[in-house]
Amino acid sequence: MTPLDFAREEDVFASGAYWREYYTELGHENAAAGEFLREIAAPLMPIGGLDLLDAGCGPTALYWALFVPGQNRIEGFDLNPANIAHAERQIAQARAGTIDPSLEAAARHAVDLFGLKISPAEHIRRKAQQIRKLGTGDLTRPWPCEKGRYDFVQSVFALECLPSWESFEFALNQAARALMPGGRLALVNVSRTNEWHCNGMGFPTLNLTLDGMKQRIAGTGLELIEIREVESKDVSVRDQGYGSIILTAAQKPLRASA
C-alpha cells in the first residue's frame, strides 16, 4: 500500500497533525516562504497598509500574516471549517496575550527580517489585530470577494491541492480578478511530486513545474515578476513527500482586463 491509499481517511488539519508536523519548527521551507512573502509585498508598502487576501489559508492565517510588513487589513478563506476554527482560536489567544511557541519562532524571524524593535509577542499581537475576516470558501468556485478588492493575494501550499488543472487555472484567474491593478499575487507551492505526506498518509497534489507555472500565470494576464524553485532542506528531517517548492509572484498590469 502506498501513502496515497490512506489519504483522506483522517482530517489531519482537524486532528492537529498538520500543524504539529509542518509548523512546530520554523524550518527551512517556512523561513523561505515567509521571506518570499515579505520580498514580494514590501515594494507595495509605500501605498500604506495592504488589503490582503490569504486564499486557502488553512490554520495558518496568522502565521503567514507575520511575514507581510505594514498595517494591513487581512482576510482569508479555506474550504475546511476546522482550519478556520483553528486560526480563529489562535488569533483570539494572541489578542489575549497567549502566544503559541511555534508562532513565536516565526515572529522572531519576521521581526529580525523587518528590523523591528518590538518583541515577537508584540508582533504577533499586532498582526492578530490586522486579521479582519476569515471564513469558509472554495477556491474552485467564484471567490467570496469583489473584483479588484486586494493589493496582495497570497496562497501558500494550497493551489496544488486542488483536484484538477482546470480548477487550478480557475483559482489563478479568480486571484487575478480579486487583485486591483498594480496588486500582487504571491504563491508558494510544492513541486515535482504527486503527493504530500502528513501523519504517515499521502495526499494528492498537482505536479507543478517551473515551466508549467510560467505558462499558467501567462494565461491569467498577470505579469510574472519572480519565479524560483527552492530545494527543501526539511525533507531530511520529516516525511513530507516532496523535495522542492516553487515560489511565484505576479503583478496585475495597471491597465488590466483580468
Ligand X SMILES: C[S@@+](CC[C@H](N)C(=O)[O-])C[C@H]1O[C@@H](n2cnc3c(N)ncnc32)[C@H](O)[C@@H]1O
Distance from C-alpha of 60 to C-alpha of 29, rounded to nearest angstrom: 14
Alpha-carbon Rg of the chain, whole angstroms?
A: 17
Cβ proximity to ligand X, 150 vs 256, nearer residue: 150
For ligand X, which residue has the nearest CB? 58
Cβ proximity to ligand X, 30 vs 130, nearer residue: 30
In angstroms, what is the minimal distance from the CB of 95 to ligand X?
21
In angstroms, what is the minimal distance from the CB of 78 to ligand X?
5
Scan for cell 496575550, then name that residue. Answer: 97
Cβ proximity to ligand X, 83 vs 251, nearer residue: 83
In angstroms, what is the minimal distance from the CB of 253 to ligand X?
26
Sign (positive or negative) of CA dihedral 103, 90, 155, 122: negative
Cβ proximity to ligand X, 60 vs 191, nearer residue: 60
Distance from C-alpha of 51 to C-alpha of 250, rounded to nearest angstrom: 16
DSSP output for 138-170? -TTS--SS-TT-EEEEEEES-GGGSSSHHHHHH
Residues that bind ligand X (CB under 6 A): 13, 56-58, 60, 78-80, 83, 138-140, 156-158, 161-162
In angstroms, what is the minimal distance from the CB of 46 to ligand X?
27
Cβ proximity to ligand X, 60 vs 72, nearer residue: 60
In angstroms, what is the minimal distance from the CB of 147 to ligand X?
19
Pairing of strands 201-204, 195-198: antiparallel
Strand-pair partners of 231: 244
What number of CA atoms fall less than 13 Å from residue 28's CA on the CB side?
12
